[in-house]
Structure 1
């Protein structure tokens, strides 16, 4: 009776813990990046009533006789199945479709890992975790050296042998905090210019037509260049002259300044040349490849204009975006996009061994294994889905089923406690 009493008590305690875990799962059903926990139950050691005997020639064998001592919670572990992807439309939000964790720095020389992709930008342009303000870690763009100060705030927390404290180790030098260059201005100098249109075949010799094209220097300043075409004396021949009235332009010249058309009005020679722009600010001459392949000579009014160029006026950072590889781009008001970093991902041999430290974050622990750094799309890593977050992987029907089982288990063990107590009372009453 005493044994049944204590066995039932273990059942009550175990099913209460079971209920606690299920309740926590249900409480976080709408928590971004949350992964449900699973309870593994184990039996306690049984008391041996009879050892049993092996069979003999005369008698058969007798099985061992044991009485169990109840149950206990063997383990409570995270289940890292993929959560449902939820579209948010926010360019700063990211979801990992597949394996891996984002890396965030908490500012205390330790590093946390998360599947919570709700990110935002602070006033300094740092990309941070929305719920904590922890900086999101990544890689410098290809060909760039990470900021020297980035490593100082980036270290990995690992437990010591007795799990009493966390040690820090120097961070990999290639990681840095992802940052948008707020207030940065970017311009693109014109290096290629394409001109298209028509030169009237009926234009008399020495007749002219002028059109204006725009070029941008390295500061994004626009310079207007006039192209004056003059009809030659030979059939299909034209010469042209670049000029500028901009006070900032000291001279503009061309390597070749003649074009020739065939009898059908198609360009025959002079389709490509180089325009050299010299400015009064002392900067190096700017060379522009000029493409006339889009010009024809037909019996139509002369009209020549710029059709395409690669220069851009100066623009400021207005927003940002991720791509599926986790590359982070700053977007400028002039249409320019510039890669400023790439989201770093980490994985572990045993993600179930990570320590849940709250705030949607995890830390390496005794049985998680060493971190493995990588990028989205690499082997053993998922891809990044911008404008999405990963929802909780809690399934409502499954948790309700587990809740019912825990409740029934608790009720059954409470009945055993009551019955055992009644039996003890009966024994006590026998003495009276």
Structure 2
């Protein structure tokens, strides 16, 4: 019966509107639920009853449409609105909101994956990022906590943020300086020269030499009297102390013997071994302030041809020549002075020494050398200025005297040298023959090895050459040199520690005639040997003085701006970037990547199956998850300290609620009307 059919259609309408009211009610109930996505109901018509199928046009008549009566309405589907919800700030670092497409990936208790837009996370007692309402674990890729590298493409795992459980230290690789070096200062030409009393090999014996045993050493008295027995025995210690540039150097201990013990800074049995120890203890950087001159072979029958380079000696058997002429060179401008030492370094004359007696513009005159000395070969070199070192009986000191020649510059001046035996006897008083002079400055810095140990470095910078030439560009300018010293540097031979060595490096810095930095030699590194310290060895870093200038000033001042090493620090905090990268913040100021949060997106997110606790599950129609870093592959970014609010639109929901109510009322009216009509029919019978 037609009226019954109308009532059935109305009943389907009532059911559909009830379903819609349910969805609207759920939306409104979750209007403040984090990450909630509003749903809607889509309706469709159900079966139509066909009363006439219609016909096609025939002859002069048009076609007839089918005659159908609908049998009501059905619920086609519910779909979710995955438009972006508003991001509300919370200030909690573990709260995460997704800005764009994508879902957080979590694992449930069985290890199965679920997906969520709700980023209200926290750190569990196991230091894992979780949803605290259900314990589901946020997935990502953790860094190797020794190298702090994240291997892309690795298997997903729970994001680990081990606050308070990870330590880090960073070795220094570069130290950057600011400041100004006084380019108008006096050129540093003179280094300290001090010498001891004469030391003897036994009482009344010959002058001591490098091979003299320390246990046999006597010294001549300062006044008349017998030679003084220093009473040094095997196993005794010798304490060395001194000042450098007015600052006290840390005392150093030398043990007489072949076996050092803990606390010793060096050991040995001979005077030569002790002089090398003394040189290292005073931080004397050898060979760094010599003026090197190349020599070329002269014609045997016409020696000293005008204009040749550096002819300094005669041919074999001939008279000794006593001068050097080098056309185009200004020895006076280079700081060569009467009294400076000339020392042959290479070739047949290696080791020969003389002293300059006169200096011309391009000629040096010096004391005669041995008449048997052959001529130098091409490329042979000699040095002018006394090389910094500690020697025994070194020219021009008398045999048996310890001669200490220090580095140039007032900051390198060595004074108050004291060498005392275990019995309290002074090996010798020292007499100053020359003090260090020239523009210089000193700055201190602390650097760190691979396990965070701190090492103090003293950097002394001196004006080495005025009006020099930059080796890299050929431009004129002033050349400064730095000497690096540190008490933690070891003297090593293979895997054997021979003692400590204050000398850790040297290098040159050149400034142009405009006072601007030109260059710094590439191998100007500072090196610490750290055997058996538990740290990577050697520790090597580069002092970068490229931001220092060379203008005229009252004094030179250079200071450390920054260095990239750090002491040990503990993971104290973290931050999460828009790319999902979790950065650990350590107590020493270091930051390192510790994890990468991964997100997933779906080709059809409306096809996801909703679960409780704001979670979703893949379905046959959602497609497989596309997993990647936030900001890649069409995935949105992550906002730390914010949560995504529900995207329920109150105005839309209330409007839909009114429409659903009116539709429900209309369907009840259909039922009421059909019922009245049926009653009227029944009354006809009655």
TM-score under structure 2 length normalisation: 0.54
Tell whether the 8 Å contact from 2:97 to 2:639 is kept in structure 1 after alignment: yes
Query: Partner of 2:155 in structure 1?
Result: 174
Shift of 1:118: 2.1
Instruction: Identify the residue that residue 676 of structure 2 maps to in structure 1.
Output: 422
Contact 2:486 2:503 in 1 (8 A): no
Alignment of 1:29-44 (within 5 A): 29-44=31-46
Q: CA deviation at 1:342?
A: 1.8
Which of the residues 526, 529, 535 maps onto 1:278?
Answer: 529
* 1:140–1:342 Cα contact (<8 Å) kept: yes
Closer, same or farther: CA 299–79 of 1 in aligned 2, 3 Å? closer
Contact 1:256 / 1:270 at 8 angstroms: preserved in 2?
Answer: no
Q: Which of residues 240, 243, 246 is equivalent to 2:485? A: 243
Structure 2 CA distance for aligned equivalents of residues 270 and 373 of structure 1: 49
Quote the residue 2:202 is aligned against: none
- Distance in 2 between residues matched to 1:58 and 1:197, nearest whole Å: 106
In 2, the alpha carbon distance for the partners of 1:425 and 1:246 equals 111
Distance 1:143 1:185, change over 3 A: closer
Mapped pair 1:79 → 2:81: yes
Pick closer, same or farther for the CA change 1:120–1:252 going to 2, 3 Å: farther
Aligned with residue 375 of structure 1, among 629, 648, 653: 629
Query: Paired residue for 1:291?
Result: 544
Deviation of 1:233 (Å):
8.9
Q: 1:139 aligned to 141, 156, 169, which one? A: 141
Match of residue 177 from structure 2? 195
Q: CA deviation at 1:295?
A: 5.2
Q: Is structure 2 residue 454 aligned with structure 1 residue 222?
A: yes
**Match for residue 99 of structure 1?**
101
The equivalent position to 1:6 in structure 2, one of 8, 15, 24, is 8
Q: Which is greater in Rg?
A: 2
* In 1, Cα distance between equivalents of 2:465 and 2:576: 58
Q: What SS class does the counterpart of residue 358 from structure 1 fall into?
A: coil
**Matched residue of 2:529: which SS?**
strand
8 Å CA contact retained: 2:141, 2:150: no
Give distance in 2, aligned partners of 1:37 and 1:191. 58
Please identify, of 248-257 and 61-70, the stretch whose mean Cα deviation from structure 2 is larger.
248-257
Cα distance in 1 for residues equivalent to 2:678 and 2:507: 114
Rate the CA distance shift 1:253–1:46 in 2: closer, same or farther, 3 A.
same
CA RMSD of aligned residues (A): 3.0
1:191 deviation in Å?
0.8
Distance 2:626 2:512 in 1: 65
Q: How many Å apart are 1:190 and its aligned residue?
A: 0.6
Match status 1:26 vs 2:28:
yes
CA distance in 2, matches of 1:361, 1:70: 35
**Any unmatched runs of 5+ in structure 2?**
191-408, 412-440, 468-477, 491-498
Q: Which moved more, 1:321-330 or 1:258-267?
A: 258-267
Match of 1:411 in 2: 665
Q: Which moved more, 1:173-182 or 1:267-276?
A: 267-276
Change (3 A) 1:250 1:278: farther
Contact 2:507 2:521 (C-alpha < 8 Å) held by counterparts: no
Structure 2 residue matching 1:135: 3-state secondary structure? strand
Aligned in 2, Cα 1:50/1:194: closer, same or farther, shift over 3 Å?
closer
Alignment of 1:330-369 (within 5 A): 330-369=584-623
